[in-house]
């Protein structure tokens, strides 16, 4: 009987340890970040429709080139996932010959792009207003982003955080 009691105690201790570890992960997850799913092809080839991302929210200070998640106040539902191209005060332009993005007079090196960048209905050059950011999808021919008057420059307060990890699908885990 004593052996059965010892086994039951060990099983309970294992169960308790696993439960505490699970709760710690959940607590850290909710305090530091959140999961977001990619909906659509606007970030292809970097991100695919259905990918699951971990977004750092608490301490994230996004900078140029970061993939960020913003509250979608445009009325299309899910949060928007785009690349940060411009910060407050930046002048963003599009070269009409090469279709490349220019920030503050410098052509951006964007090796993640597979298609050229074309303007939408926002006139260029544009100076990013104070308190706003300029975001663009990597799939520039299929992205509703800051080039469109439907979206425009995004209020920095709408930024939920920056993407730090893709955790699904399993074969594409990583940053």
Task: Tell me which residues are annotated as active site.
Answer: 42, 82
User: Omega of the bond prior to 45 within 30 degrees of 0, cis?
Assistant: yes
Residues near 143 by beta carbon (within 8 Å), at least 6 away in sequence = 42, 43, 82, 136, 137
Q: Give SS3 for 60.
A: coil
Separation of alpha carbons 49 and 60, rounded Å? 24
The DSSP element (H or E) to which 70 belongs, if any, is strand 67-70
Please state the φ and ψ torsions of residue 34, each to the nearest 5 degrees: -155, 165
Torsion angle of the four alpha carbons 73, 74, 77, 83, in this order, in degrees rounded to the nearest 10: -80
Burial class (CB in 10 A: 0-12, 13-18, 19+), 83: buried
């Amino acid at each position: 009987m004593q052996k059965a009691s010892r086994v039951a105690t060990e099983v309970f201790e294992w169960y308790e340890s696993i439960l505490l570890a699970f709760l710690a992960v959940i607590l850290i997850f909710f305090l530091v970040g959140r999961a977001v799913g990619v909906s659509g092809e606007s970030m292809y080839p970097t991100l695919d429709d259905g990918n699951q991302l971990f977004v750092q929210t608490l301490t994230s200070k996004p900078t140029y080139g970061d993939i960020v998640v913003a509250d979608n106040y445009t009325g299309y539902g899910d949060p928007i996932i785009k690349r940060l191209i411009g910060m407050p005060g930046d002048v963003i332009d599009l070269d009409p010959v090469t279709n490349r993005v220019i920030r503050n007079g410098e052509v951006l090196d964007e090796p993640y792009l597979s298609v050229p960048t074309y303007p939408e209905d926002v006139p260029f050059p544009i100076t990013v207003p104070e308190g706003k950011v300029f975001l663009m999808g990597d799939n520039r021919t299929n992205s509703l982003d800051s080039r469109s008057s439907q979206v425009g420059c995004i209020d920095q307060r709408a930024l939920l955080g920056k993407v730090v990890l893709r955790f699904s699908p399993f074969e594409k885990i990583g940053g």
